[in-house]
């Protein structure tokens, strides 16, 4: 009998972070931690910021530091969609990678929000000037 594997994909907005076969998936939802095997029932779960662990076909563990997202298991396919994620080789070093990557993204988001606020303020100021001119 051949061993069944799941096809796992980890998606970020705009790109695919990982795609490969897995024997086991470990994730954390708001209700707690859970594991998935190929013959488990289909499910949809929201994920909390945590470590996603995959055991691949070669029996290696792959670690992903993830932000909030959604996991969907359907038949032998598992799709994980998250806002932010980084892949690390070791669990010990993953915390450092997550802190660095997420802080860079937080800074980019802060800059984008600042630019948007300035644009909104400029629009309000111009609308006010137009109203006064009428």
Task: Give the chain's domains with CATH numbers.
Answer: 6-133 (2.60.15.10)
Q: Look at 62-71, 80-89, 102-111 and tell me which has the smallest mean pLDDT.
A: 102-111
Beta bridge partners of 73: 43, 78
Sign of the C-alpha dihedral computed for residues 76, 81, 87 and 90 taken in this order: negative
With a cut of 90, say whether residue 133 has pLDDT above it: no
pLDDT of residue 119: 78
| The token pair that represents 48 in the structure block | 């909390």
What is the C-alpha separation between 32 and 13, in angstroms, rounded?
25
pLDDT of residue 1: 45
Mean pLDDT of 17-28: 94
- Are 79 and 6 in contact by the 8 Å Cβ rule? The answer is no
**First and final C-alpha spacing in the chain:** 81
């Amino acid at each position: 009998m051949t061993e069944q594997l799941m096809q796992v994909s980890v998606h970020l907005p705009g790109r695919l972070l990982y795609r490969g076969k897995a024997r086991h998936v470990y994730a954390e939802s708001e209700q707690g931690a859970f594991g998935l095997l190929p013959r488990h029932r289909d499910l949809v779960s929201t994920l909390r910021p945590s470590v996603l662990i995959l055991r691949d076909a070669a029996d290696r563990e792959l670690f992903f530091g993830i932000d909030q997202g959604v996991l969907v298991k359907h038949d032998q396919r598992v799709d994980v969609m998250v806002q932010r994620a980084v892949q690390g080789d070791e669990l010990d070093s993953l915390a450092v990678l997550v802190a660095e990557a997420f802080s860079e993204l937080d800074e980019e988001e802060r800059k984008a929000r600042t630019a948007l606020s300035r644009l909104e303020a400029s629009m309000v100021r111009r609308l006010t000037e137009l109203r006064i001119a009428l």
